[in-house]
Structure 1
Amino acid sequence: MKSVTAAIVMALTITACASAPPAARTPQQPEWHPSPNYDVRSAQMIIIHQTEMESAEAALLTLQTRNSGGRVSAHYLIGKDGRLYQLVAESSRAWHAGASRWGGVADLNSSSIGIELDNDGVAPFSTAQIDTLLQLLGDISARLDIPRHLIIGHGDIAPARKRDPSPLFPWQRLAEAGYGLWPRAPLAPVPAGFDPWAALRLVGYDLRDPAAAVRAFHRHYRGNEDEQWLPGDAEILHDLQLQLMEMPPAQAVDPVSDVRRNM
């Protein structure tokens, strides 16, 4: 009888062990074997915005907190009086570009520096503000080795969603100081067979919404927001294309391949 009882107990024990859940395993901790073969992620372009708010103080509050449209930030904010604020370290990813694309690059938050300008979208940009912007552009582009033609607007990278900075923004003044791409005078005649759409794409514009792309191009280079091609557009695009093609390889950066090299 004792042997039968012992056999039953043993069987029950084996059954219980078989049905019990396995013990939780402690995740294996990796062994740290550092490699020197890496680069720190760095910005490849600079994107200029306008706040479209009543003051720099109001913009700071929005850029530092949650808001109804979701959390946003920028690396820098420049007030109308030229005062410079920094909100995010240049090595960090600020949330300023949103759904956007330039030269085939879609994740522009990871590859750009965002600069907000205190402007309501209607008023001209102040001299003090642009003076500070030029100083900041010189500092950032020199330290981070950002190609100076890759200084663009929020409306350029998101033409279907954004229109900042406004047509009043002085892109020509920036170009005369060496920042951004601008057509040279006098403009050369356009060769036979010239394709303005191909040139617009080469400059960097996203053509998935053609009318929006043309509108963004006009805002930047013509000071208007017309969605149809205008006389003189082809000559401007031809010159911009020539400038990009004439740049030395070290300056004519392909944003797509350059970002991939830093991934």
Structure 2
Amino acid sequence: MKRFLTLALLASLLVGCAGEKGVIDKNGYQLDTRHPAQAAYPRVKVLVIHYTADDFDVSLATLTDKHVSSHYLIPDVPPMHNGKPRIWQLVPEDKLAWHAGISFWRGATRINDTSIGIELENRGWQKTAGVKHFVPFSPSQINALIPLAKEIIARYDIQPQNVVAHADIAPQRKDDPGPLFPWQQLAAQGIGAWPDAGSVAFYLNGRSPYQSVDTAGLLDLLSRYGYDVTPEMTPAQQKRVIMAFQMHFRPALWNGVADAQTQAIAEALLEKYGQG
């Protein structure tokens, strides 16, 4: 009788445990999730914006083959269904997509492992007389991007400085999404980083915006913000890093030249968002 009561009590405790909040009953075992570790961090930390440099059909074919992929693809003019723009999801967010390639941001490599990639159908650029001319993004495409980006940022608590251009994380290889991408407009919507105008003016300190500054000093600021800067870089490679930064934060002039305004913007960003 005593043994029966003991078994009954144990069974009662087990049933009670299974019904407790934080205890999950599985097939063949139970999970106790009531003691979460503090040393745990989200896998997704970065949102990367790209352009496809091709039309939609070719872009879709490329992004669904065996070599490259992206989580989302947004057409130049998204088709409307029930009053809402349609976006293509090509890879579930819990799976790795091969969109960043060889990359670096804020001390981290293998950005594919920790990012969500969004591709925008856009022709990219063409050269005329040696000058790159970029294709603008349609308002309807940006309007479709905004709610998607907001949801991703909220879902993974992505910091503003970690919403980046492909060119930011791979400046030696990539230009996308280019200087016509409306980073300032998106930052006003809570998507990505943007310097405060007052801080830029403070750091500019009355200098002419295009006054030359020390290239090494500027690159040090860009390195501290998050860009990949190494001692062995050639002048051409240094210029690519500065140009990527300017396309993002000073799109009116992205010549890759170290000047006072670029320096002031970098200092204002570091003040607002901290070092990488």
Deviations 1:47-76 (A, max 9, x none): 0000000x212211111114xxxx000000
Contact conserved, 2:221 with 2:266, CA < 8 A, in 1? yes
Residue in structure 2 matching 1:189, options 198, 202, 205: 202
Q: Alignment partner of 2:73: what SS?
A: strand
CA distance in 1, matches of 2:220, 2:32: 42
Residue in structure 1 matching 2:141, options 96, 106, 129: 129
Structure 1 residues 100, 35: closer, same or farther in 2, change over 3 A? farther
2:218 corresponds to 1:215: no
Contact conserved, 1:102 with 1:157, CA < 8 A, in 2? yes
CA distance in 1, matches of 2:239, 2:201: 25
C-alpha displacement at 1:176, in angstroms? 1.0
Structure 1 residues 118, 191: closer, same or farther in 2, change over 3 A? closer
C-alpha displacement at 1:231, in angstroms? 3.4
Indicate the residue corresponding to 1:93 in structure 2: 96
Deviations 1:193-228 (A, max 9, x none): x94333211221111342221111111112143121
Indicate the residue corresponding to 2:191 in structure 1: 179
Q: Alignment partner of 1:240: what SS?
A: helix
| Higher percent of residues as strand | 2
Residue in structure 1 matching 2:112, options 109, 116, 120: 109
Alpha-carbon RMSD across the aligned residues, in angstroms, is 2.6
Q: Which amino acid aligns with 1:179?
A: I
Structure 2: gaps of 5 or more residues: 1-28, 79-85, 125-133, 206-213, 231-236
CA distance in 2, matches of 1:181, 1:147: 8
C-alpha displacement at 1:230, in angstroms? 2.4
TM-score, with normalisation over the residues of structure 1? 0.73
Structure 1: gaps of 5 or more residues: 1-31, 246-251, 255-263
Contact conserved, 2:105 with 2:228, CA < 8 A, in 1? yes
C-alpha displacement at 1:42, in angstroms? 2.6
C-alpha displacement at 1:235, in angstroms? 1.2
Contact conserved, 1:196 with 1:238, CA < 8 A, in 2? no
CA distance in 1, matches of 2:272, 2:96: 30
Deviations 1:148-167 (A, max 9, x none): 33110001100000000011
Indicate the residue corresponding to 1:46 in structure 2: 47
Q: Which amino acid aligns with 1:126?
A: S
Q: Which amino acid aligns with 2:45?
A: Q
Indicate the residue corresponding to 2:76 in structure 1: 80
Contact conserved, 1:42 with 1:91, CA < 8 A, in 2? no
Indicate the residue corresponding to 2:59 in structure 1: 59
Indicate the residue corresponding to 1:238 in structure 2: 267
